[in-house]
Amino acid sequence: MTERSPLAPAAFPDLPPVAGVTARVSRARYKNWDRCDLTYVELSEGTAVAGVTTQSKCPSPEVEWCRDAIPLGSARALVVNAGNANAFTGHRGRAAVEAIAAKVANHLDCQPSDVFISSTGVIGVPLPVDKAEAGLEAAFAAAPCGWEDAATTIGTTDTYAKGARASAMIGGTRVELVGIIKGSGMIAPDMATMLGYIFTDAAIDPKLLQQMLSAANRTSFSCITVDSDTSTSDTVLAFATGKAGNAPLASMEDAGADAFAAALDDLCRQLAHLVVRDGEGATKFVEIAVEGAESDASAHRIALSIANSPLVKTAIAGEDANWGRVVMAIGKAGEPADRDRLSIRFGATQVASGGLAVEGYDEAPVAAHLKGQDIAIGVDLGLGDGRATVWTCDLTHGYISINADYRS
């Protein structure tokens, strides 16, 4: 790992074990790395699964595999390969995925479709089946590891291991949720890849879990951007072992379903923020909150237009209260907006309102806010009730260095 992001938390959090989940790591040696690169997670029988994957039209075979297996609702294992994304590798890439699933299914005596697989790293190089199989053999024989080892092993150019927890009470039973995630680390010529895994001991129907995960995704992973580039491999999976012993959740009307959904939302948002805080070259964590839009969807598109604007991101890197660039990004979003109703704040200070600069606004608190690491930009469109919040980071020389200065 390269130098730890300045936005990283002080340490990896203290995460509880999740009953029914056993992780192991090994060295498949996909790259010339002096570290483990294969993560193997065994899940107890009866584990429910849900997932969301990249919208890319050119997904990796791992993504296609997961898309096919998620609707079946059950999982027994997760395999994550780091160092090779296996994307754009044709039938050989697909064959590697099938070989991994078959080997694990044989080991656990389960269906291949119960085995979930992700790969991250260089694209265009088929995942070597021999290395994957040897890595799996080593993982099968390895001692169980802790969450930090698993979170480290799924990483590529991440500068720190990322994990988070949440819990909920379901009818008097406490359930735990733990998540690990990697991204948006990249190294030339690798792709940005975000892979996230959530484990819970809650008993929950996979369809309900999917409904909750899809909802949580809309306000977490779908609300972050480092550089607007969508990977071929993005995947978030949630596994529920049911070992907590709660009365199984099957619909949002069940007691405790709200609490579990809230915990899942919270966990997903924590994980999403950890990814932004490791954005390439990031020195500022930026929250962009849009309200007063014609709809939530419109607010979301406007917020992303601001978050993806290189001019907004470089202004924040330069600690420059350049609200004109925010106006520009709103204007280009193609969404309903009325220049003369717009207001914009940096931190708590209104800088523009009613179509022009707030005359004589106090620049001192704005300058102080922009010197910090956590930046908040607020936009009120003054049109309706639509609102959305997204998170991003600034755009710095560090991003260029990571992605341009080194050759593949």
Q: Residues comprising the binding site for substrate?
A: 156, 182, 193, 280, 403, 408
Binders of a second copy among residues 318 to 357 (CB under 8 A) are 318-325, 327-340, 342, 352, 354-357
| From candidates 317, 375, 379, 390, binder to a second copy by CB under 8 A | 317
Closer of 6 and 16 to a second copy (Cβ): 6
Q: What interhelical angle do 323-332 and 296-307 show, nearest 10? A: 130
Binders of a second copy among residues 216 to 275 (CB under 8 A) are 227-232
Binders of a second copy among residues 98 to 137 (CB under 8 A) are 122-126
CB of 331 to a second copy, least distance (A): 3
CB of 356 to a second copy, least distance (A): 4
**Is 192 an interacting residue with respect to a second copy (CB under 8 A)?**
yes
CB of 408 to a second copy, least distance (A): 5
DSSP assignment of 361-385: --HHHHHHHHHSSEEEEEEE-SSSS
Find the catalytic residue in 47, 193, 232, 349. Answer: 193
Closer of 89 and 159 to a second copy (Cβ): 89
Closer of 167 and 222 to a second copy (Cβ): 222
| Contact residues for 269 (Cβ-Cβ < 8 A; gap 6+) | 216, 219, 220
Q: Where do runs of H (alpha helix) occur along 221-286?
A: 257-276
Question: Residues 64-100, buried b or exposed e (16+ Cβ, 10 A)?
Answer: ebbeebbeebbbbbbbbbbbbbbbbbeeebbebbebb
**392 catalytic, yes or no?**
no
Q: Which residues fall in the annotated binding site? A: 156, 182, 193, 280, 403, 408
CB of 38 to a second copy, least distance (A): 22
- Read off the tokens for 219: 């306000």
Q: What length is written for the chain?
A: 408
Closest CA to 23 of 130, 148, 134: 148
Which residues are known to be catalytic?
193
